[in-house]
Structure formats: C-alpha cells, structure tokens
C-alpha cells in the first residue's frame, strides 16, 4: 500500500491492529439503538494521526464484513489519494462544485470492500463547499450505498471546516497526540465541536508510550462521552 502503513491490513496480529478493533467495537456499542453510519475523524491540531486513524479504522470495519467509503474532507491538506495511491482528478470537490456523480468519483482501493472518495482538486473555498446542501446530499447518498462512511476531517484548529461537517454526521472521533497533549486545548476543541452540534463519540489517544509497542506508534483507548463524564466535571 503506497504512502501509508495500513497496519490493520498488513499485520493482523499486531497489538495496534487489536487497538483499532477495540475502537470499532466501542463505536458499535455507542450506537445504543441509533444508527451511526457517517463517522468523522478529526484532531485538535495537524499531525496528530487522524488520517492514519481514519484509514485503519476503515480497514477493520471492512474486516467485520462491512462496506466502507473513506471520504477525504481535508481539502486544505488531502492525503487519502496519496495514502492509497489513487488518482485525485475527480473527487469530493468535483462532486460538489461540478455535479460529478458520486459513482463516477468513487474509487476502489486494494482493500476488499473499502472504497475512497478523494478530495479532488483543492478548492479556494473549502468551508463553503463542505457546508453546502450538495455536501449533505452526497452524505445521504453515500450512507444509502455503504454500511459506513468514514470521513477524514481537517483538524479543528485553526479552520472551521471540521465544525461544519461535524455538525451533520452521526458521530465524531477526536484523535489526540499524547506527546503534544494540552488539556486546555483539548477542552476548547471539545466545546467547539459540541457548540457546533457534533455528536462526540470519544477520543483516541495516539502515540502512547507502551512497553509492548515502544514509543510513537501506539494507541491508548477509545471511550464514549456519556453523561457520567459530563456529570463529574471532567473535560469541561
């Protein structure tokens, strides 16, 4: 696989792959009777591992027999086409601004049941495109075709793109780099997402020091933001 080590695809017995399976299971339990089909992955700042998390989570969902569309909404710094070695001439931007049919822009990847909609040509106005009615229509169309739509969002800081999309998807997963973790920033990002109307499912703590994994390529745990956390004053 070009550009990205899809560890969940290349090394099924790796502890990191198991961590992604735990995230998958946590998402399934978080549904609690309501359907979670459009799932967005974002971070506080750039370079925290959100794109790697989105890609590997998409892989483990396919391993559970699900069809998945990986959607690159990080139009300012798109990576899905690079990570999977795909063409980026047609993509999300052309679907929104030029009316390209979803079926014409989606590409199959080398992973069975995993499809990708790359960003397309980088537009001058990503926030406007992502907040458009056409974007909502595409998400609705995709959720009717695929079991899951995994969305690689931009970081919440410093642009508003993630908030725009986070408000219209079923759930948002926040990736935090444990080595760069700043409590105040994480709390501020959580508040921004909540004020935008996002359903925060939980947090993936990335780059955790582990005696099994070493440092720099591990995952902590995924947890659901439920009423218990809100009531004890954590993370406000």
Spatial strand order in the sheet of 148-152: 107-108, 114-117, 68-72, 148-152, 38-43, 171-177, 200-206, 219-224
Say how many CA atoms lie within 13 Å of 201 toward its Cβ. 29
pLDDT in tens, the chain (236 residues): 455 668 788 778 777 888 889 888 888 887 777 789 999 999 999 988 899 999 999 999 999 999 999 999 999 999 999 999 999 999 999 999 999 999 999 999 999 999 999 999 999 999 999 999 999 999 999 999 999 999 999 999 888 899 999 999 999 999 988 776 678 888 999 999 999 999 999 888 876 655 544 433 444 444 444 433 332 233 32
The confidence score (pLDDT) of residue 166 equals 95
Q: What is the pTM (predicted TM-score) of this model?
A: 0.86
Which fold does the domain 7-231 belong to in CATH?
Answer: Rossmann fold (3.40.50)
The confidence score (pLDDT) of residue 177 equals 83
The confidence score (pLDDT) of residue 104 equals 97
Query: In 36-167, which residue ranges form alpha helices assigned H by DSSP?
Result: 50-63, 80-84, 92-97, 102-105, 126-130, 133-145, 161-166
């Amino acid at each position: 696989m070009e550009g990205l080590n899809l560890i969940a695809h290349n090394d099924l017995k790796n502890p990191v792959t198991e961590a992604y399976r735990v995230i998958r299971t946590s998402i399934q339990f978080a549904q609690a009777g309501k359907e979670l089909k459009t799932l967005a992955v974002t971070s506080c700042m750039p370079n925290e591992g959100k794109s790697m998390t989105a890609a590997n989570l998409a892989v483990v969902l396919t391993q559970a027999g699900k069809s998945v569309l990986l959607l690159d909404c990080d139009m300012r710094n798109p990576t899905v086409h690079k990570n999977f070695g795909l063409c980026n001439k047609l993509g999300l931007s052309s679907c929104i601004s030029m009316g390209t049919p979803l079926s014409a822009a989606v590409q199959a990847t080398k992973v069975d049941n995993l499809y990708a909609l790359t960003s397309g040509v980088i537009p001058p106005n990503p926030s406007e495109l992502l907040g458009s009615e056409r974007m909502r229509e595409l998400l609705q169309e995709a959720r009717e075709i695929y079991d899951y739509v995994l969305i690689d969002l931009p970081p919440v800081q410093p642009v508003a793109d993630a908030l725009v999309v986070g408000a219209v998807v079923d759930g948002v997963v926040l990736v935090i780099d444990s080595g760069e973790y700043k409590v105040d920033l994480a709390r501020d990002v959580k508040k921004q997402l909540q004020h935008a109307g996002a359903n925060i499912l939980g947090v993936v703590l990335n780059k955790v020091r582990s005696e099994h994994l070493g440092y720099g390529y591990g995952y902590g745990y995924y947890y659901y933001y439920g009423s218990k956390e809100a009531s004890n004053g954590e993370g406000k």
